[in-house]
């Protein structure tokens, strides 16, 4: 480009996210956990161990400064179950630290979530994805996000063996978890996506 040779890279940083040449988010998740861990460490004295702040105020700071950064752009990501478990493990460890709960107390995760009033990481991811897909559904036809989400390739087919998880598959899983019938949702979209195969 303009007389310069561009290097071929496997991943690069774009708008605060790591873009890889494959469909996996392992590198991105590891970097996000590292960044959020740094944020948590900076707030130890000022927030988490500050006796002048109530637990509810500490949790508000956690949601605003940690969770929002942690889940940035997550509504458009395809996450496997083992990756969501990794995120939930970090989430639960952070909540236990804020609430002053040690592993020696033998308090289960559901009790920790009830005490904090914050949903699990699985619920947070599900809420964001369903909100985003409903937003895309309400968009006008021929909008790029709508075409990408519900469009299909006119040629070629998926490889033999277990295929990679698609974003639509994750959304269907979320709908089933919330007792929403995915087939009825897709029937509503047939009129929109018919003839839109790419």
Task: Give the pLDDT confidence of 37-58 residue by residue, as tens digits.
Answer: 888 888 888 888 888 889 999 9
pLDDT at residue 190, as a whole number: 42
User: What is the phi/psi pair of residue 12, to 5°?
Assistant: -155, 165
Structural domain including 169 reads: 129-193
Tell me the CA distances in angstroms from 81 to 95, 106, 126, 198, one per residue in order.
21, 25, 12, 29
pLDDT at residue 108, as a whole number: 92
Same domain, 25 and 104: yes
- Sort strands 11-14 and 17-20 into parallel, antiparallel or unpaired: antiparallel
Same domain, 31 and 113: yes
Same domain, 161 and 70: no
Evaluate whether residue 1 is within a structural domain: no
Same domain, 81 and 150: no
pLDDT at residue 198, as a whole number: 36
Q: How many Å apart are CA 179 and CA 173, to the nearest integer?
A: 10
State how many domains the chain has: 2
Same domain, 80 and 35: yes
Which of 86, 117, 148 is the C-terminal boundary of a domain? 117
Average of per-residue pLDDT across 2-19: 76
Q: Report whether pLDDT(90) > 60.
A: yes
Which pLDDT band, with edges at 50, 70 and 90, does 92 fall under? very high
Q: Report whether pLDDT(75) > 90.
A: no
CB 111 within 8 A of CB 105: no
Residue among 194, 149, 141, 143 nearest 172 (CA): 149
Evaluate whether residue 174 is within a structural domain: yes
Cβ density class 28-64: b for 16+ within 10 Å, e for less: bbeebeeebeeebeebeeebbeeeeeeeeebbebbee
Same domain, 25 and 107: yes
Which of 64, 85, 117 is the C-terminal boundary of a domain? 117
pLDDT at residue 95, as a whole number: 92
Q: Report whether pLDDT(194) > 70.
A: no
Helix (H) or strand (E) holding 53: none
21-25, 36-40, 76-80: lowest mean pLDDT where? 21-25
Q: Report whether pLDDT(9) > 80.
A: no
Average of per-residue pLDDT across 25-34: 79
Angle at 117 between CA 77 and CA 113, to 5 degrees: 75
Chain mean pLDDT for the chain: 80
Percentage of residues in the chain with pLDDT exceeding 70?
85
């Amino acid at each position: 480009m303009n007389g310069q040779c561009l290097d071929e890279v496997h991943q690069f940083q774009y708008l605060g996210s790591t873009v890889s040449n494959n469909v996996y988010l392992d590198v991105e998740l590891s970097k996000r956990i590292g960044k959020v861990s740094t944020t948590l460490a900076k707030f130890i004295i000022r927030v988490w161990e500050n006796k002048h702040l109530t637990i509810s105020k500490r949790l508000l700071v956690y949601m605003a400064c940690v969770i929002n950064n942690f889940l940035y752009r997550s509504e458009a990501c395809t996450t496997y179950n083992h990756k969501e478990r990794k995120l939930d493990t970090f989430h639960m460890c952070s909540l236990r630290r804020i609430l002053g709960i040690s592993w020696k107390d033998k308090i289960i995760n559901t009790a920790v979530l009830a005490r904090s009033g914050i949903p699990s990481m699985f619920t947070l991811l599900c809420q964001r994805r369903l909100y985003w897909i409903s937003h895309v559904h309400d968009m006008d036809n021929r909008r790029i996000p709508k075409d990408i989400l519900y469009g299909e390739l006119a040629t070629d087919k998926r490889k033999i063996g277990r295929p990679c998880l698609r974003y639509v598959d994750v959304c269907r899983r979320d709908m089933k978890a919330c007792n929403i019938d995915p087939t009825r949702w897709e029937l509503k979209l047939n009129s929109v996506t018919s003839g839109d195969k790419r």
